[in-house]
A and B are shown apart, each in its own frame.
Chain A
Amino acid sequence: TQLLEQSPQFLSIQEGENLTVYCNSSSVFSSLQWYRQEPGEGPVLLVTVVTGGEVKKLKRLTFQFGDARKDSSLHITAAQPGDTGLYLCAGARNNDMRFGAGTRLTVKP
């Protein structure tokens, strides 16, 4: 069982659609990070959220950290084919970092 559960596992949408992916846990984290990984490459950090209830925006991406710091969501507005990739969340606690299994997003032109 993963400490961080990501949903959905797979998501295939058309260009221009909106989407939300989720990262849930029963554990409290001191911070939570979102990464995007493309084939043949390592994950690249998108954002770090630290405060419960925090919302961060990165162009068309909106990240939210749950009030209790147990969960997070990533919302993408008007998805583009360049958004295609594996989206990973990672929670930090006690100098330990755990990753979810990821949501594989495909945006079709």
Chain B
Amino acid sequence: NAGVTQTPKFRVLKTGQSMTLLCAQDMNHEYMYWYRQDPGMGLRLIHYSVGEGTTAKGEVPDGYNVSRLKKQNFLLGLESAAPSQTSVYFCASAANVRNSNQPQHFGDGTRLSIL
């Protein structure tokens, strides 16, 4: 039972390089999310998606882009990496149940360092 799978688990980039973080879920969830976790700040929402083909900005979207071409996949892109984007990135997914808040299920995270 895979749940939410993030690829890669670790990555080191140089400033200005680009990369894409991959997230896949096998629970048929409508909602998907990308968060970043920095020391002492908890998790902050970068972008999210309420369904295939739709995306929306979260609390800290600058410097990131996302795509949800397939329901099970949610991609996070860094076009030109900056040291301030050094962080742990978490993907999550949740079911869409009318008038109900469903728990989000998280991947194991991607540790990204920008030199």
A-B complex is real: no
A residues contacting B by CB (< 8 A) are none
